Structure 1
């Protein structure tokens, strides 16, 4: 896959997407969002890909925000369409992928950058990472899911404070709120992502995709998460992975999942 603003690498079952606009601190523009959508779509359809890592190029930024120059003169209608299209193409799309996506937050994750990291299934950060939603300092609010995902991850009160003050928090503070799972040095960030991906890839990709769906249902209005879990649990019994997993357990050996 050849793109202008992102790099995609695949090493066996692990894929890595790197947002590659270092001169713009990897800021998101329309083209980058479209390229990310195409990359995630292609990797999701590739049965060999079991985990996707998402990061930014360089050591300064994961994604420093959206490219403000693209929408500074938008009308109300254009602004609404921008948010709707972005959520559909990328942020909601990533959250609902059946392939696990881990964000490697290397530096600034601000505005749309933090919103993108939050749409991933979980996050790890380098110790120089700085995170925040500064949109109110520009006279606007987060439009790519930030007002929804941040309270779910860190609680309403702290989310209100961060959004209203347009403030930033460091990696350790983000970890204390549950926004990121681990904080390591820049040098350790990719190895830790690969290590966690390796642990995930040992398990049934079919079961993991159903777990993602069930967990997301807990946070979806109008959906009964418990019922979603019950349905997904039952569906697992009809998979080849379930047969292999239970057989391997009873035979006291490691499973070799066909991922079907």
Structure 2
């Protein structure tokens, strides 16, 4: 049995009872009067995504082992909330520094970005519940342990989450072509950095919700960067500017 998957009705029910983090549950499509309504209700209560699929899909995922029409993907660690992320910033007495990822699908990219987020001292990472890789074992391995130290919140609506953060004083910078050069932008203060998906970039509604669009200068023949590379450049520029701002502030205080 794959260590990221649990299948069979009793194993999935016991997994739910254990309270362990779950990325998603798949059910055999049986119509509205199916036998698993009690389990579906439990998933609703815990806000865990689920999906109905055909038998061929479950057979393929489980190598035709006995799945009893049910499969759960186990998360590598518990998800945090937006409040947890903001509370960490307050605890550190720092302006919030948050990375939002719009439909990143490659687990290696997510793992690498978690590793960078930890390195630069970001307070947390936000990912969507759907159309995005979750905290899988591959992500955990690629992060080189950072998954245990970086708070990751998984939300239903990125746009609404962004608006809520803006109301709390966060300035939002989306990384896309056609914006001001990132090295000339002011990235200090409470900050959310958005990195788009590998193929489509930042979705239209999310882009329209940004306070600014910033771009990484490209001098070569290639027109774009890997999502994890672009994200790392953005995050380290935020760190650099925060460090410079802190040095200036200390210098002013000493002169006074």
TM-score for both structures, normalised by structure 2: 0.31
Higher helix share: 1
| Larger of the two Rg values belongs to structure | 2
User: Going by fraction, where is strand more abundant, 1 or 2?
Assistant: 2
Bigger RCO (CA 8 Å, 6+ sep): 2
